[in-house]
Amino acid sequence: MYRRPMMLGKDSGGDWHVNKNSACRFEKMTGIDPMSKGFRRRNRGEAAGEAIPDVDVVEVERNLVEAAAIKLRHWAGKNQALFRVIVWGTISVIFLSITLWVVISFRAENQAAEIADLLTRQETVIKLFPTEDGRKNQMLEIAKEADSVCNVFLPGKPAASGCLLAASIYSQYEMPQEAAKSLAEFARQTGTEKAGILGHFLAGYAAENTASFDQALEFYNTISVDMKKINREDFTLFHTSRVLYLQNKFEKAEEGFARILKDFPQSVFLDEARTYLRLIASQNAAQ
Each residue of 189-247: pLDDT tens digit?
Answer: 765 566 667 777 878 887 887 788 888 888 888 888 777 777 788 888 999 999 999 99
Domain ranges of the chain: 2-76, 84-230
pTM exceeds 0.75 for this model: no
- Alpha helix (H) residue ranges in the chain: 20-30, 64-78, 80-128, 132-150, 158-172, 176-189, 193-209, 213-222, 224-229, 233-246, 250-263, 270-286
The rounded distance, in Å, linking the Cα atoms of 229 and 193 is: 11
Per residue in 115-149, pLDDT tens? 777 777 877 877 777 777 778 888 888 888 888 77
Domain over 84-230 is classified CATH 1.25.40: yes
pLDDT tens digits along 57-74: 444 445 676 777 777 777
- Convert the pLDDT of each residue in 73-118 to its tens digit: 777 677 777 767 777 777 777 777 776 666 555 565 666 677 777 7
